[in-house]
Amino acid sequence: MRRAHWSRVTAPPHHPAFWPAWAETARHGLHVLSRHTGVPIALLAAVALVLSYRLVRRTWRLALEVCLCATVLAMLTEWRWIAW
C-alpha cells in the first residue's frame, strides 16, 4: 500500500496549510513586478499593504451595512409591517 505524498495535497483556503503557498505566490508576484517595472520591492509591498487595508476597511463597512439591513428587514417581516 502506497502512502499519499502530502506535498501534493492541495489544502482548502480556510486550512492553515494553504497560507504559506499563498504567501509564496504573492512574494513571487512582487518580485516579478519589481523586476519588470524597476520599482523597488519594498515600495511595491508598502503600496500593496495600504491598498489591502483600504479594501478590507471598505469591505467591512459594506458587510456591516448588509447585516444591519437584513436584520431590520427580518424584524419588520416578523412584526408583519411588510409582507413578501
Domain range spanning residue 66?
Answer: 40-84
With beta carbons less than 8 A apart as the criterion, state whether 45 and 38 touch. Answer: no
Count of domains forming the chain: 1
- Residue 83 falls inside a structural domain: yes
- Residue 68 falls inside a structural domain: yes
- Residue 3 falls inside a structural domain: no
- Residue 70 falls inside a structural domain: yes
Report how far residue 54's alpha carbon sits from residue 60's, in angstroms, rounded to the nearest whole number: 10
- Residue 29 falls inside a structural domain: no
- Residue 46 falls inside a structural domain: yes
Examine the pLDDT at 62 and tell me if it is beyond 60: yes
- Residue 34 falls inside a structural domain: no
Query: In this predicted model, what pLDDT tens digit does every residue of 16-41 receive, in sequence order?
Result: 666 677 678 878 888 888 888 888 88
Examine the pLDDT at 12 and tell me if it is beyond 70: no
- Residue 72 falls inside a structural domain: yes
